[in-house]
Amino acid sequence: MKDQVEPHVTADGRRIGGVLMDLRGITLRFGGVEAIKNISFDIREGEIRAIIGPNGAGKSSMLNVISGFYHPQDGEVWFRGAKRPAMKPFQVARLGIARTFQNIALFDGMSVLDNIMTGRLTHMKTGLLSQMVWAGPAAREEAENRAVVERIIDFLEIQAIRKTPVGRLPYGLKKRVELARALAAEPKLLLLDEPMAGMNVEEKEDMSRFILDVNDEFGTTIALIEHDMGVVMDLSDRVVVMDYGRKIGDGTPAEIRANQEVIDAYLGVAHD
Ligand SMILES: Nc1ncnc2c1ncn2[C@@H]1O[C@H](COP(=O)(O)OP(=O)(O)OP(=O)(O)O)[C@@H](O)[C@H]1O
């Protein structure tokens, strides 16, 4: 379906724009293991893009290339029309790419609010010292940061737990706080590493709704890895399928469902 890769408005009224991230011929090796084999695909502005594949296919490695945790031996990463040089993850974050992790990475002893505030660090310009003495620019910046965070807390419906230490929260809410922290960075591209892993049906429904709302309301482009096939097919505009480090499918959920190589490699095989 050629028209799906041109800028267009989706059936539900969302605007999909030009290429935001372009991965060109990415190859990543760990010693003798080729985790990613010459893979190319793009992520378009405003879309929800899924990366799927059986265990060990190379999905996490690909997400780690996108977020700057891994540097591919071959290939190019283009972001917002420019070739991205090898960067440290915090530099990639400053470009406007935020992520969540497969295993929740929050500070258990800190409140929900403070955890989400850490997501603003990439935006902070004033030094720690001026923040401590509450000097003018620092106070203004703090107020701006608080405003962004408060909006996200409202949006994700976590007002009631804002003061609660994260360690005391049930799993589904921790995942939501992690999403909130990533959103606090106001990313152009949000990377979600198995956002539904370990969730019950109700929690999955909530998380799906929030992902769709974030994309719709903030216009955030989202790339996600997810094992739950129903969720992937419902949420995504386009899906990349990996198997043994290769790309074996790339298209709309309907195209992926009809792709024989994908069915053989993945969909027909019970997972987990
Ligand atoms: N840090 C590493 N060092 C060595 N080998 C690695 C490393 N990370 C991944 N690999 C290997 O690269 C391949 C792809 O792994 P990766 O974790 O990216 O797959 P995945 O599709 O995310 O799998 P899963 O669904 O199980 O999380 C595997 O063979 C894995 O063993």
* pLDDT one-digit tens code per residue, 120-131: 877 766 555 555
* 102, part of any domain: no
Q: Does one domain contain both 88 and 192? A: yes
Q: Is 262 among the domain residues? A: yes
Nearest CA to ligand 1 atom 1: 30
Q: What does the pLDDT read at residue 145?
A: 85
pLDDT at 15: 86
Q: If you take atom 17 of ligand 1, which residue's CA is the nearest one?
A: 60
Give distance in angstroms: CA of 210 to centre of ligand 1: 28
Is the residue at 101 inside a domain? no
Separation CA 192–CA 101 (nearest Å):
7
- Mean pLDDT across the stretch 228-254? 93
> Is residue 272 one of the residues assigned to a domain?
no
CA distances from 215 to 54, 120, 207, 236 (A): 26, 19, 12, 11
7 and 122 assigned to the same domain: no
Same domain? For 10 and 87 the reply is: yes
Within a domain: 146: yes
Our count of domains for the chain comes to 2
Q: Which atom of ligand 1 is nearest to the CA of 36?
A: 14
Provide the edge-to-edge strand list for the sheet that holds 19-30. 33-44, 19-30, 74-79, 82-83
Q: How many other C-beta atoms can be found within 10 angstroms of the C-beta atom of residue 224?
A: 24
Q: Give distance in angstroms: CA of 59 to centre of ligand 1.
A: 8
Q: Where among 128, 153, 185 does a domain terminate?
A: 185
Please tell me the predicted confidence (pLDDT) of residue 270.
Answer: 47
In a domain, 261, yes or no: yes
Q: Tell me: do 89 and 191 sit in the same domain.
A: yes
Span 30-49, pLDDT tens digits? 999 999 999 999 999 999 99
Residue 105 within any structural domain of the chain: no
Same domain, 149 and 258: no
Atom of ligand 1 nearest to the CA of 102: 27
Complex-level ipTM: 0.96
Same domain, 17 and 88: yes
Instruction: Let me know whether 157 and 199 are in one domain.
Output: no
Ligand 1 binding pocket includes 30 (Cβ within 6 Å): yes
Report the percentage of the chain scoring pLDDT > 90. 67
Check if 64 has its Cβ closer than 6 Å to any atom of ligand 1: no
Write down which residue in 131, 159, 185 finishes a domain: 185
What local confidence, expressed as pLDDT, does residue 121 receive? 77
Whether ligand 1 lies within 6 angstroms of the CB of 103 is answered as no
Cα angle 174, 178, 183; round to 5: 145
Asked if pLDDT for residue 141 goes beyond 80, the answer is no
Q: Which among 136, 168, 185 is the end of a domain?
A: 185
Range of the domain at 118: 111-185
pLDDT in tens, 190-234: 999 999 988 999 999 999 999 999 999 999 999 999 988 888 999
53 lines ligand 1 (CB under 6 A): yes
In this structure, are residues 18 and 188 in contact, taking their beta carbons and an 8 Å threshold?
no
- For residues 66 and 24, is the Cβ–Cβ distance under 8 A? no
* In a domain? residue 16: yes
| Residues 193, 260 share a domain | yes
State whether the beta carbon of 56 lies less than 6 angstroms from ligand 1.
Answer: yes
Residue 118 and residue 84 share a domain: no
Q: List the CATH number of the domain containing 38.
A: 3.40.50.300
Residue nearest to atom 29 of ligand 1 (CA): 56
**Separation CA 222–CA 187 (nearest Å):** 10
Range in 1-5, 75-79, 134-138, 214-218 with the lowest mean pLDDT: 1-5
- Whether 231 and 263 share a structural domain: yes
Q: Is the CB of 65 under 6 A from ligand 1?
A: no
Question: Could you tell me if 148 and 199 lie in one domain?
Answer: no
Judge whether 62 and 20 are in contact, CB under 8 Å.
no
Please tell me whether residues 128 and 200 are part of one structural domain: no
Report percent pLDDT > 70 for the chain: 90
